[in-house]
């Protein structure tokens, strides 16, 4: 079983997990792919090792830092100092940059040749660097323009192309055959008067492009960032799985807009789900449902008593009924699930389909230190609860990953900090 994640800014790459999942053959049950809400490349790399991930997609702003944390770097990563694909190969973390396939792949699909064409790339960050590198490799005559001239010069020297400041593009843009804008979302430095019908305008932004109307009025051929994402995602998928992606299926995947009705919190016992749920619910203005508390109230007994008197199977039946009822409610809620909820295949499927499932993660040893082991029957019966917890977590890890939309680490965060991070990540992708 292989676990893959994406980490970085959901504003830039919120489609990545959906596109990757859409490429899976229906029988590919040995793969799980989820978002990893790390706040630094160092945290993402540590979780990569700790969770035993097989691969990771890296988005801005971590591409440069992650390149330095890998054990081996492909040629394009060395040239660009940017990594968007991390893989474990022969026991080492190896990084690649599949962004370089995005622009030429999209241009080929659109029937636009690159060789001999005058190309202007705006921005010298991760996306702009990959675009310039790729266009130069395809035989284009490339100029890199960036607000910070020294950054543009360093990139141009590493690639072997020209460079300019953004203040100079008024003289360059009108003569360019292909213009790639890889600037931050909402930043537009192109004057409509510089554009002409014969030009190809490529915007790295794929949601809410500021250039769309401008390009239409000027009669330019516009290619948006969804095509870039698609054509960089396909080679990443090949590296991850060794299989050919379903590119047509990937193209049909849309960007989710509405916030799903419920948010479910999953994860191991002691990870902090019950503490986070009411805090996150208050931020979202919705009720919190603690499945374990509801179950105990409904059955008139504690969970240890239920398991001791009626067995784990009975407890799981009651647990499933409580969570199914919460998911069926028309009132949007934040649902805190028991640590073993995902072990029930139907329940895991429902959580994934009817809610945003957030995996709150902490190492098993940390989880055990936070709980009263005597109240946890699955651990209390073992002479070494920490070892039992580690073994139980390993059995459940893939199920958490397969169910989760996103993972948030509670290892060194308070419940308030975890709640805020979940709220911020969800708010960047979904409209409430």
In a domain, 257, yes or no: no
Task: Give mean pLDDT, residues 164-184.
Answer: 94
Same domain, 117 and 160: yes
Q: What percent of the chain has pLDDT over 90?
A: 73
More confident residue, 253 or 344: 344
Query: Which of 397, 419, 413 has its CA nearest to residue 268?
Result: 397
Same domain, 168 and 289: no
The domain total for the chain is: 3
Instruction: Round the average pLDDT of the chain to a whole number and report it.
Output: 89
CATH number for position 128: 3.40.50.720
Per-residue pLDDT tens digits for 301-334: 999 999 999 999 999 999 999 999 999 999 999 9
Same domain, 302 and 385: yes
Contact assessment for residue 127 and residue 99, using Cβ atoms and an 8 Å cutoff: yes
User: How many whole angstroms from its chain centre is CA 428?
Assistant: 12
Same domain, 278 and 370: yes
Same domain, 213 and 290: no
In a domain, 37, yes or no: yes
CA angle 10, 15, 20 (to 5 degrees): 120
Per-residue pLDDT tens digits for 374-398: 999 889 889 999 999 999 999 999 9
Q: How confident is the model at residue 259 (pLDDT cuts 50, 70, 90)?
A: low
Q: What are residue 166's phi and psi, to 5 degrees?
A: -65, -25
Same domain, 80 and 194: no
Same domain, 285 and 339: yes
In a domain, 256, yes or no: no
Q: Is the dihedral of CA 50, 56, 62, 68 positive or negative?
A: positive
Same domain, 164 and 197: yes
In a domain, 66, yes or no: yes
Q: How confident is the model at residue 21 (pLDDT cuts 50, 70, 90)?
A: very low
Same domain, 278 and 208: no
Residue with tokens 């893939």, as numbered in its chain: 398
Provide the whole-model pTM.
Answer: 0.87
Per-residue pLDDT tens digits for 22-60: 333 434 567 888 999 999 999 999 999 999 999 999 988
Instruction: Determine the pLDDT at residue 246.
Output: 74
Retrieve residue 204's tokens: 């790295």
Q: Is the pLDDT of residue 16 over 70?
A: no
Instruction: Determine the pLDDT at residue 224.
Output: 83
How many whole angstroms separate alpha carbon 17 and alpha carbon 117?
Answer: 34
How many whole angstroms separate alpha carbon 183 and alpha carbon 209?
Answer: 11
Per-residue pLDDT tens digits for 226-240: 888 888 888 888 888
CATH number for position 245: 3.40.50.10860
Query: The domain containing residue 192 runs over which residues?
Result: 101-223
Q: Is the dihedral of CA 291, 296, 302, 303 positive or negative?
A: negative
Q: Which residues are tagged catalytic?
A: 63
Same domain, 117 and 156: yes
How many whole angstroms separate alpha carbon 38 and alpha carbon 44?
Answer: 5
Same domain, 75 and 121: no
Same domain, 294 and 413: yes
Instruction: Determine the pLDDT at residue 252.
Output: 59
Instruction: Determine the pLDDT at residue 383.
Output: 92
Instruction: Determine the pLDDT at residue 23.
Output: 39
């Amino acid at each position: 079983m292989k676990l893959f994640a994406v980490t970085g800014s959901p504003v830039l790459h919120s489609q990545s997990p959906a596109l990757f999942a859409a490429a899976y053959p229906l029988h590919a049950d040995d793969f799980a792919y989820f978002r990893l809400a790390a706040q630094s490349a160092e945290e993402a790399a540590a979780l990569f090792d700790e969770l035993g991930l097989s691969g990771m997609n890296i988005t801005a702003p971590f591409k440069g830092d992650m390149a330095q944390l890998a054990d081996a770097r492909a040629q394009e990563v060395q040239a660009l100092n940017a990594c968007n694909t991390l893989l474990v190969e022969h026991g080492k973390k190896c990084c690649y940059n599949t962004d370089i396939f995005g622009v030429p792949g999209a241009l080929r699909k659109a029937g636009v040749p690159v060789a001999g064409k005058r190309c202007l790339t705006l921005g010298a960050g991760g996306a702009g660097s990959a675009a310039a590198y790729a266009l130069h490799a395809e035989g284009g005559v490339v100029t890199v323009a960036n607000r910070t001239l020294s950054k543009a010069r360093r990139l141009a020297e590493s690639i072997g192309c020209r460079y300019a400041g953004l203040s100079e593009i008024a003289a360059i843009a009108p003569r360019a055959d292909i213009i790639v804008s890889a600037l931050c979302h909402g930043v537009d430095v192109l004057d409509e008067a510089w554009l002409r019908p014969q030009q190809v305008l490529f915007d790295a932004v794929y949601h809410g492009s500021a250039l769309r109307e401008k390009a239409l009025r000027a009669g330019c051929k516009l290619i948006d960032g969804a095509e870039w994402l698609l054509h960089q995602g396909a080679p990443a998928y090949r590296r991850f799985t060794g299989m050919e992606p379903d590119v047509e299926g990937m193209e049909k995947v849309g960007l989710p807009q509405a916030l799903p009705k419920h948010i479910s919190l999953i994860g191991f016992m002691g990870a902090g789900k019950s503490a986070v749920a009411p805090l996150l619910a208050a931020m979202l203005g919705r009720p919190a449902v603690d499945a374990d508390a509801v179950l105990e109230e409904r059955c008139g007994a504690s969970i240890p008593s239920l398991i001791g008197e009626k067995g784990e199977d009975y407890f799981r039946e009651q647990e499933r009924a409580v969570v199914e009822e919460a998911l069926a409610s028309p009132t949007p809620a934040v649902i805190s699930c028991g640590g073993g909820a995902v072990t029930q295949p139907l329940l895991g499927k429902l959580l994934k389909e009817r809610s945003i499932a957030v995996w709150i993660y902490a190492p098993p040893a940390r989880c055990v230190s936070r709980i009263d082991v005597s109240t946890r029957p699955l651990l209390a019966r073992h002479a070494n609860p920490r070892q039992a917890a580690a073994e139980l977590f390993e059995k459940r890890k893939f199920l958490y990953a397969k169910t989760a939309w996103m993972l948030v680490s509670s290892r060194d965060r308070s419940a308030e900090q975890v709640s805020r991070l979940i709220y911020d990540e969800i708010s960047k992708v979904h409209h409430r």
